[in-house]
Structure 1
């Protein structure tokens, strides 16, 4: 197996050293050795070198923890899962180490720049049932956003359209005359000067749905780096968090039938 890896991967000297350092492993955790025979359909993992990451400010607040679930309130700019240039600076990597839970995994998505509630399963065996709740729309989610007031906008309003996001593009877009795949109820809760706090109740969970729906209403979320225009902001610039908060989550637990309801400890405006 080791010889096969050296043949297939381009930097042979580096691969040889990685084999010597036991950085290639099988799914069982056993290190791949130079003299192991090649076996087809075998998964091999390796630990890549990580770039230095700037620490994301803000604290991951544990709102709830039990045998099956952990609910956290994450700060803006912290990725949910390790990806791209954000590996150590992600909720999953941080909490797996801090809590000693190697199988900890998120049950839904939350953008890196979005703050608020995130649900995670403590072990793989619990994950499927909770993920099914999200897939079936059985989790009631409430967000709050800080955005401009628009006196001519009649609220509450339900925004329905078709959203899509192409791989490699920054912004999602509305597809005219296509079947509805995104729906959000928008209500104005309070005002302060030229800004309002809006209560957002999505029935679906498309990429950038809330951000694009408010932008479409002419009230883009304060400090949104993508809407209406993509801004050139360094990934280590944490000075202007997106003013969008995943504020409430409510559902019936699929294992014991108990009602679950969680609230963010954060408030708008986010700093």
Structure 2
């Protein structure tokens, strides 16, 4: 597959920083017809050494970093594991939060009966923490900045749902009005800050949301 609408924001000997489009897997799926993904496209178009470090959901767009050698992959993976990276997402959520900012500290787990959904579970869920801030208020929705401290699957989507403000266009978690309000999931990884695995330089990448 060609790179198509995959945009390279930065590249050097150690890493690639990509603006991943919506409706593209980060890594291959289990089914044979789910082989098309970001890492495969890069490997087939001039970057055979590309290695995934972290993932974005299929529907989520925005900044994702890949390593170009084993040592860089190990170091970047460690930074994500030890929460030394900083991430921010831009989203559109349904309704009007009473406050302008806040935090959501609710444990999450995968829910096999409703796969691939995740749910809040105080007994078996894993710790998950998200900070949110309203950037703009509109008639029926808000533009918000979401900052995940942990990196659980579907964390931002389930956390915003849990406080009554599902993301627009979210086919898994939004109610009918929020789902119909936008033709795609309104979640975009808009900022990533990390330490370069070779030089030690602190780097910050930004990419505005397309919605």
* Partners of 1:130 and 1:143 in 2: CA distance: 20
Q: Distance in 2 between matches of 1:102 and 1:268?
A: 29
SS at match of 2:133: strand
Does residue 258 of the first structure (1) align with residue 194 of the second (2)? no
Q: Which has the higher relative contact order, 1 or 2, with Cα contacts under 8 A spaced 6 or more apart?
A: 2
1:97-136 mapped onto 2 (5 Å cutoff): 97-99=44-46, 101-136=47-82
TM-score (norm 2): 0.88
Aligned to 1:86: 34
Q: Is 1:154 matched with 2:99? A: yes
Partners of 2:87 and 2:193 within 8 A in 1: yes
CA root-mean-square deviation: 2.3
Partners of 1:220 and 1:57 lie apart in 2 by 31
Structure number with larger C-alpha Rg: 1
Partner Cα distance (1:196, 1:160) in 2? 21
Matched residues, number? 203
- Distance in structure 2 (CA, Å) of the matches to 1:179 and 1:213: 13
- 1:247 partnered with 2:158: no
Cα deviation digits, residues 70-116 of structure 1 (max 9, x gap): 000011000111112321x21111111112x2221111011011000
Change (3 A) 1:141 1:209: same
Q: Is the 8 A contact 1:150 1:218 kept in 2?
A: no
Deviation beyond 6 Å, 4+ runs, structure 1: 55-58
Gaps spanning 5+ residues in structure 2: where?
Answer: 177-181
